[in-house]
Amino acid sequence: MTSPVPSTTSRSTRREWLCGSLAAVSAAALSGNLFAAPPPQRNGKHHFKLSLAAYSFNRMLLKAWTPEQLAEAQFTLEKFIDFCAEQNLDGCELTAYYFPKDVTTEYLLSLKERAFRLGLDISGTAIGNNFCVSDPAERAKQLEMTRQWIDYSAILGAPVIRIFAGNVPKGESEDAARERCVSAINESLQYAATKGVCLALENHGGITATPEQLLKIVEAVEPSPWFGVNFDGGNFRTEDPYADLAKIAPYSINSQLKVEMYPGGKKEAADLARVVQILKDAHYRGFVTLEYEAAEDPFTAIPEHLAKLRTLVSA
């Protein structure tokens, strides 16, 4: 019989974290540098590991599946992990969308064991939350889902969760939506800190469509070593997305690269060498995850793009 994953918060641990946060705020105030979430400290040298996002097979993977559906699945997370090993990657990113409707500890541990046996890290996971919602019941639902995935990530050994900010509800102001988003991130970080899981906020449209919008949120979040930016190389649809990526790169604790970009909203092939150089210039250390979304068959295209990325990150 499988057992559900518990979702509980240690009050004593949370209290300890809050005390530590207050101390950090006091220290920042005394130093005159009260940025809420400063860029992570680097050692001056970039270091990259290659991973692949399960979202790259979005067209083939079942979402919130049941055991009955799994029998006829075209592709599974298990097969995805095997594919990552065949590509000789360092890690695999297990996107939340493709887990079963009812996640169990046994299932999570089976994925963790499979990845370990194949020499792979689970580089992270990614959820589709919306922290801008105004309805209290929906907000509670979004927070509970986030806590649940913090628990799942801790079991998987995934160090980071990609999170979204969300969109401004109809008839509301962006300021109000951002305030709710910041509050939800702060609340989620209190729990994430007790589990040793980082939350990485992605530049993903909505109230993070520009670097200025994203950094407004980053700078409003309470100080936490468990928070940073998820650098998505293909999401800015601004006039100069490369320059805008350079603005968020210093805050990045996780990165996802795409093979297409949209300068001025027009699709074109991404200059991956330029994107990788932006990460190098920011002394980024961590996983560089390919998130393939182009039209070509992923089994054909992904190995080619990974080969190019491998050359770029090792240069």
In this predicted structure, the answer to whether residue 222 has a pLDDT above a threshold of 50 is: yes
Q: Is the pLDDT of residue 18 over 70?
A: no
In a domain, 286, yes or no: yes
Residues facing residue 229 across a β-bridge: 201, 252
> Residue 288 falls within a domain, yes or no?
yes
Q: For a pLDDT cut of 70, what percent of the chain falls above it?
A: 88
Distance CA 303, CA 26 (A): 49
Residue 232 counted as domain residue = yes
Q: Give pLDDT, residue 124.
A: 99
> Could you give the count of Cα atoms lying within 13 Å of 53 in the half-sphere of its Cβ?
25
Least confident of 16-25, 76-85, 179-188, 292-301: 16-25
51 vs 84: CA distance, rounded Å: 8
Provide the domain count of the chain.
1
pLDDT at 28 over 80: no
What is the percentage of the chain residues whose pLDDT exceeds 90? 84
The domain that contains 301 carries what CATH number?
3.20.20.150
Domain that holds residue 136: 41-314
Give the alpha-carbon dihedral of 291, 293, 294, 300, to 10 degrees.
Answer: 60
Q: What does pLDDT average to over the chain?
A: 91
Q: Does residue 229 surpass a pLDDT of 50? A: yes
Q: Quick one: pLDDT at residue 4?
A: 52
Note the pLDDT of residue 137: 98
Q: Is the pLDDT of residue 117 over 80?
A: yes
pLDDT of residue 71: 86
Q: Say what the pLDDT of residue 5 is.
A: 54
309 pLDDT band, cuts 50/70/90, is: very high
Helices 136-156 and 105-117 cross at an angle (nearest 10°) of: 40
Distances (CA, A) of 170 to 21, 133, 167, 176: 35, 10, 9, 12
Instruction: Tell whether 148 is covered by a domain.
Output: yes
Distance, in Å, from the CA atom of 192 to the CA atom of 16, rounded to the nearest integer, reads: 13
Span 114-125, average pLDDT: 99
Q: Which band of pLDDT confidence, cut at 50, 70 and 90, is reported for residue 37?
A: low
Q: Quick one: pLDDT at residue 10? A: 44
The verdict on residue 117 lying in a domain is: yes
Q: What mean pLDDT comes out for the span 257-277?
A: 97
Mean pLDDT in residue range 166-175 = 96
What would the two tokens of residue 283 be?
């002394």
User: Is 98 among the domain residues?
Assistant: yes
